[in-house]
Amino acid sequence: QSTWRGRAEMVALLESKVAELQQQLGMGTAIPCSAVDAKGKEDIRKLELRNKAQLEQATAELESLKAEHAGLRTKHEAMKARNSTLRKEVQDLRAQLQQQSQRNGGGGVGGGDTEPG
């Protein structure tokens, strides 16, 4: 599986080889084709190995991030449930407080209409 980046690197490498060979032809020096082919194959092999290593590293990182994401999603859902439970509890406590307040004659500090005397 070659990626766009790998192909771009290969194209750039081959273009530089062509330019180098054209320059050598202009100077009148010649390099045997077998030496150029061997060097090109070696460079391509190095690129393939590097790209394979990068792909494996990216795949491992992706799996790690997926696992972390799943854990955070679970934690988020638990926090939402806790928040809902607490919201309901506060609502119930406010209702109880309001009922107590009404039973004690309208509420207020001191517990009602009686004054100490």
pLDDT tens-digit series, residues 10-61: 888 888 888 888 777 776 655 566 666 777 888 888 889 999 999 999 999 9
What percentage of the chain carries pLDDT values higher than 90?
A: 45
pLDDT greater than 70 at residue 4 = no
Going by C-beta distance under 8 Å and a sequence separation of 6 or more, which residues neighbour residue 13?
Answer: 40, 43, 44, 47
The predicted model scores a pTM of 0.46
pLDDT tens digit string along 50-61?
999 999 999 999
Residue entry with tokens 């090109």:
40
Cα–Cα distance for residue pair 22/24, rounded to 1 Å? 5
